[in-house]
Amino acid sequence: MAARPGRGPARPYRAEARRDGAPELLGRERERERGADHPLEAPDPEFERLLADYDAAMEVAFAEMEHAFLVADGDWAERMRTALERLLTLAARNPEQAELCTIRVFEAGPAGLERRDVWMARFSGLCQAGYAAADPNSRPPRLISPIAAGALFELIRAHASDGRLAQLPEALPTAVLIVLAPVLGRDAALALAA
């Protein structure tokens, strides 16, 4: 038992040192085969279908958004504005897919979160490409692109959960501000959104 110099035992109420343990207080582990209580779970076909539908919807959304980005005129910021406008319009016109991609995907638990993170990373990559091309003096930290992706996701999710997807295109100035303000600044981003 450890003692404090000149003051007696550190814990006089304990008869044994912690490292020795008190066998009568320790629970006995029952004998079992390794992994017997945790069988491998077969994938739930319902969740597998949900994730497949999610991937298909996200693939269409990104293809549309990236196409709009590539064919638009102007610099990166103007092309990104066009891509964001296309994404918001697509979500508004396809409410079932928008709800699947922002709300129902979480029904699949950790697999849904993982899949959502993969798609958000793809959007972050598109943002990061534009941020990297910005003036080195105004280049935002690397953490900004995932933050912008998360904020844009939350903007769409909030409209879906509130039943306001039809009004989502009206949120374009907010989306442009979220994604472009870190590079352009607030005023320039708002001017571009108008």
What is residue 39's predicted lDDT score, i.e. its pLDDT? 47
- 3-state SS, residue 4: strand
What is residue 35's predicted lDDT score, i.e. its pLDDT? 47
- Classified by CATH at the fold level, domain 45-193 comes out as Tetracycline Repressor; domain 2 (1.10.357)
Residue 128, CA distances (Å) to 76, 95, 120, 183 in order = 11, 28, 12, 10
Q: 0.75 exceeded by the pTM?
A: no
Does residue 153 surpass a pLDDT of 60? yes
Model confidence over 38-62: pLDDT tens digits?
444 545 778 899 999 999 999 999 9
Determine the Cα–Cα distance for residues 131 and 142; give it in Å rounded to an integer. Answer: 9
Dihedral of CA atoms 122, 127, 143, 50 in degrees, nearest 10, equals: -30
**CA quadruple 43, 44, 48, 54: dihedral positive or negative?**
negative
Q: Are 94 and 160 in contact (CB under 8 A)?
A: no
| Element spanning 3, H or E | strand 3-4
What is residue 38's predicted lDDT score, i.e. its pLDDT? 47
What is residue 20's predicted lDDT score, i.e. its pLDDT? 53
Model confidence over 69-101: pLDDT tens digits?
999 999 888 999 999 999 999 999 999 999 999
